[in-house]
Each structure stands twice: as structure tokens, then as C-alpha cells.
Structure 1
């Protein structure tokens, strides 16, 4: 365990997330559940079927299927669309989760070829799609684009890409791991956004804060095929109810808080941007997440953050990543924790951060 992670977890308050990911996350969700309620059994039963129907309605899709992971759900979605078109080629952003975090599962398990669209530092635009040189079965768009600070295309761009794909017979899939979190910026309902896509994946452990699990939604024919692939992938566990119960509980608890998380993220980014040698991407967040970039070596920033954690009792981040030998960044995702910090204590923390980063700037 590194010292930054350790001191962050020892603080009384944290800027990010909903709190510790410990067993209490499940215990709280189970408190209101009748212990005699029947569990799901290999993908069947009221507890899973009711939640699937609830989420299909919320997303405006005909049906939905609960999966133990988004990795499984998205690979299966792309496989279905490739089989339908008899073309094993898809396109997505260079920093898509499928490209950089899944050990090439889409390629090794499904033999699907991938085309990387757009420069890695920006979102996919209509021109990137129109100027593709190869035919594809499916285009995947991630909203927001996590690895570049949660950036988003304009809504008019989404509409234009959706029209183009439908005109060309290209299926459009939404990596909506953080879909709920972008609705305040777009000022759209989940149904309105999802109407633009043929299939949709959403996560229940990110902004929602559940244990794990995902929903894959689309029309009846699509989801029936996804159930077959779910079984082939080993995703039909005898019971998934701990994940379903926590997903349902925290979805109900937090779906109405996304506006607050968004406005808190904008306030927090403004405070960070007042510090020298530091900037956020985006400068003004478009969801509850953004990246904080430090123009100093990681080890020097870690030393400052540890001291602030210990002196103020406020955790800024538990993790820093190098961008070069002289710079680093952290991902910030705002949840329930931020709103609990007293304003006077937050002000003291940021004053210390400003002073210590200014000291580094002077030395450099």
C-alpha cells in the first residue's frame, strides 16, 4: 500500500466518490430487503426480471439484461452487431476501455478487428466517422470519454453521428458507463440520449456506487442474443442478487443527485484552477468527473498531498499517474463525499495546496 493511498483513506473527509468501498456498501442495500425474498436463479426470477424491466423503461429501450460486468456486456454487444452484419470490424476511440483495459478481449475472444477513430486527446466528431476508409458493423461512443477527463461531444454532434450511422446501416453502441452523470450537462433524459443508439450499456458501480454489475439494453432480438452470449461467457451465475440489490438501491438513492454532483464538480474544478502549476481537463467539467494535471514530478506532488491529508484531514486523491518525468495527473469523480466537507476546512485545504504548489513553482 503506497503512502498516498494510505493517508487518503485515513482522512475524515474526501473530495471524491461516495465513501469507502467496504462491506457496508452491501449491508446498507440489504437493510430494507426481506430476507425471505427469493433470489434469482441463472438469470431468471422476479428480482432480476423486475430490475431489468425497470432499467429498460428508464433507458427507453424494449428490453434489458443484467450482466456481472461491463467488460462482458460490451464485448457481447459488439459481437452481436458484427454477426448480424457478417462483418467483424468495429470502430471506437483510441482510449476506449476495450482498447486499453481489457487485454484485447474483443480481438482474442471474438476475432473482431478494431479501427481507432480521432486523436486520442479529443472526442470523436462527425468528420471522423464520415471519413473512415473501411466498412464497419458498429461504432462505439463513450459518454463521457473517461481517459481524457470526461470530455463530451456536443449533443448536436451525437444526433448527426446517429443519423449518419442509420443511413449507412452502421449500428451505434453507447458505452454509457457514466451515462447518468452526463444528463445534467446535456439537459436530456436518459431515454432521449439512448434513442440515438441501437444498444446501450450502463454501469452500477461508478457514479451510482453499487457493488458491481451492468445493464445492456436494446430491442428484444438483440437482448435475447445477448443472453445466449452471457451464458457462453460464464456470466449466468447461479445468483447475481447481491449485485442487483445494490444496483437497484443505489440507483434509486443517487439518480436524483446527478445535478448536484455536476455543479459540485464545476465548483471544485474552479478551486483547483486557482492554484499555480495546476490545471483541469476540461477546464469546466461537463459531468461529475475531470482530470487534475500537475506541472511537477509525481513524487513531489505526492509529498505535498500526503502532508495536506495529514494536516487537514481532507483527502484530495489516492492515486497519481505520470504524464511525463516532470508532470502527473489525477482523476476526480465527485459524489456524496464532497458535499460533506465544511466550507471553512475546504478553504484551508486549498490555501495550503496553493502555497505548497507555489513553493514548487518558485524552486523550479
Structure 2
């Protein structure tokens, strides 16, 4: 029987093992159509849809999020990729300067197939290095004039690290003094508010334009909001049409975004403290460290001095023995090292803490055995 189970585990992918676990720890729910069904359960079927960006359903939601972010106006987009490229294009055109600046691991730089250059002919200046966030000194030392600087809060690709709020204020003041527009990649803005102990409006007042996502920590289907002053958002609507983002209706995304905004925004502080708790358990294991060591949001990265395939096998064994799923994937750093991202939501809150400790204790024991081999 044991041999049969071992053979079955070897054939199973890590994602399959994670989905089969009784207690998957990351995220708020499984990615399936139930996300949409849940959001629609209390909706009046006679409610009118939006049509090409107009109608109460989209206009009311845009006004609601603009108010929450402390901005005069906001526009709903089907994707953050579209919203952010458009924001940078608007600021570039306004300044008559094609140069913009952001982090080397910015989403626009590494995940968008060079779209910013191919579609808008913008020229990025990369600030800081890949191991840390952009600081005031990096901006002060720029030798080229740029129209806009994009800051991502938190910096996802390096574990979700954050600048001190005081430095963020200094960057904002520096840019305004010099006529440089400051754009916020706030894909995970909601998730960092508990750490900053600030409202969204207090953070967003430092920026000329703001993008937020509704599917990451909130768990909506898809969708983004781009906020700023009224002239900025009016121009963004023109570019939205040019990009093909003005679908005849976007209400499935709007309804789910609004529903999960209301459901999960109040839990962000719980998710944040859960991440601190779980990171401490990971850091007690040999061969493992979290980045950052103490999370500043509900997400962090776990780095292991263990080859990817070996770590996957250890995880599948832990899942089988405890019923706790720790991660859906592991990525290779090099032949001897690997990492994965943790983002916590409702699932972790609903898992008994003794099960979490059991799983991490077993993982720690299995990692300790590696030293003996």
C-alpha cells in the first residue's frame, strides 16, 4: 500500500496535490466559476448592464472607488496591463517626453512582451537594482529627464518589500517640485494599508495617478481601476477605446469586483497578521528563509536551499500526511535553490492552527533530514 501511494504521488503534479489537500493555505478560494456565481447570488437579474463604459452599474462603482482612493475620478478597465500603459502614455504625451522610469522587475518590464515600447514607443529608465526597492537617492541621481516615475507598492517580485512611508512622502515632494508625474502600481495597495497604518486616500494623495487590481488579494474575476484627476481619466477613456477595452459590457467583472471588495477589504489586517505568523513558522525550518523575513503585507516569498524537484516531492509528502497544502508551485532559482510565493486570504483564516503547525513541523523535520543525506 505504501509503495502504491508513493507511486501515485510521483505521478501527481504539485498543483494536483495542492488542489486535493483538505486545507490549501494560499488565496481565498479555488479559481473556478463559483467565484462568479457567489458574487451574483444577491444580484437583481433585471438590473441594467453597462454599455460601452456608460450606465449606473459602472459609473457608481467608479465613483465609489475614486472616493475610497481619494481621487476626483476613476475609470474601470478590464486589465491592469492596459490601464498602466495608458497612464504612462498620457503623462508622456503631456510632458512631450517619451522617457519614463521604473524598477527593473516592474510588471511592464518583465511580463508584457515589451508592450510599452511596441504600442506606445516609450523608453524606460530602470532605477535601483533587482534586489531592492527604488529609493529617493535613486531618483535624485537620475541623469536623464523623465516624464513619469512608476512605483510599485509592494514590490512583488522581491517578496513584497516596501519603502518607509516617510521616504515615499519625500519622493512625492521631490517629483512635484520638478514636474515629474508619479504613478502608483497599486496592484496590492489594499494589502499594504495595515502595515502603513494609513488609509488608501492618504497613500494615494502622494501620487498623480493610481492603478488598483480587483483580483489579487480581493479575489475578483478580473478588472482594474485607474484613478486621477478628471482631465486624466477623461483622456484615459479615449485610450481605453483605442485599446479595445471598451467592451459592450463589463458587468461580470464589475459585480464580482464590487462584491469581493466589500467582502475582503475588511479582512486585510487579518491576512497581514496571518502572513507574519506563517513566515515565522517557515523561518524555523532548516534550509528555508522568507523574504522579507517579517512580511509587510499578506504576501511574501519563501526561498529554499533545495532543488525545485526535491522540494516538490517534500511538499507532496507533507500534503499527503497532513492534508495541508502549502503552495501550488515551486520555481527554480538555480540547480540548488528554489522559491515560491505565499499570498494569504480566507483559506488560511479557516484552517485550524494546529494543522498549520503540524504541516510546518513535518516540513521542518523533512528538511532537517536532508542534512543527514
User: What band does the TM-score fall into relative to the shorter chain?
Assistant: over 0.9
2:292 is equivalent to residue 282 of structure 1: yes
Once the two structures are TM-superposed, the CA of residue 344 in structure 1 deviates from its matched residue by 2.0
Which one of the candidate residues 340, 347, 350 is aligned to 2:360?
350
What secondary structure is seen at the aligned counterpart in 2 of 1:337?
helix
Question: In the TM superposition, what whole-angstrom CA distance separates every residue of 1:320-343 from its partner, at most 9, and x where no partner exists?
Answer: 111111000000001110011112
Which one of the candidate residues 238, 250, 258 is aligned to 1:248?
258
Structure 1 distance, partners of 2:369, 2:362, is 11
Q: How many residues align?
A: 363
Structure 1 distance, partners of 2:307, 2:12, is 17
What secondary structure is seen at the aligned counterpart in 1 of 2:222?
coil
Which one of the candidate residues 55, 70, 83 is aligned to 1:60?
70
Partner of 1:10: 20
8 A Cα contact 1:277 1:361, kept in partner: no
Counterparts of 1:68-217 in structure 2, within 5 Å, are 68-217=78-227
Partner of 2:304: 294
Which one of the candidate residues 272, 275, 278 is aligned to 1:265?
275
Partner of 1:37: 47
8 A Cα contact 1:4 1:318, kept in partner: yes
Partner of 2:6: none
Structure 2 distance, partners of 1:345, 1:178, is 28
Structure 1 distance, partners of 2:101, 2:68, is 27
Structure 1 unaligned spans of 5+: none
Question: In the TM superposition, what whole-angstrom CA distance separates every residue of 1:78-127 from its partner, at most 9, and x where no partner exists?
Answer: 00000000001100000000000000100110000000000111000000
Once the two structures are TM-superposed, the CA of residue 350 in structure 1 deviates from its matched residue by 1.3
Structure 1 distance, partners of 2:203, 2:242, is 30
Q: CA RMSD in A?
A: 0.8
Once the two structures are TM-superposed, the CA of residue 9 in structure 1 deviates from its matched residue by 0.6
Once the two structures are TM-superposed, the CA of residue 2 in structure 1 deviates from its matched residue by 6.5
Structure 1 distance, partners of 2:75, 2:342, is 30
Structure 2 distance, partners of 1:186, 1:343, is 27
Q: TM-score, normalised by structure 2?
A: 0.96
2:35 is equivalent to residue 25 of structure 1: yes
Structure 2 distance, partners of 1:77, 1:213, is 16
Q: TM-score, normalised by structure 1?
A: 0.99
Once the two structures are TM-superposed, the CA of residue 361 in structure 1 deviates from its matched residue by 2.4
Question: In the TM superposition, what whole-angstrom CA distance separates every residue of 1:158-201 from its partner, at most 9, and x where no partner exists?
Answer: 00000000001000000000000000000000000000000000
8 A Cα contact 1:204 1:213, kept in partner: yes
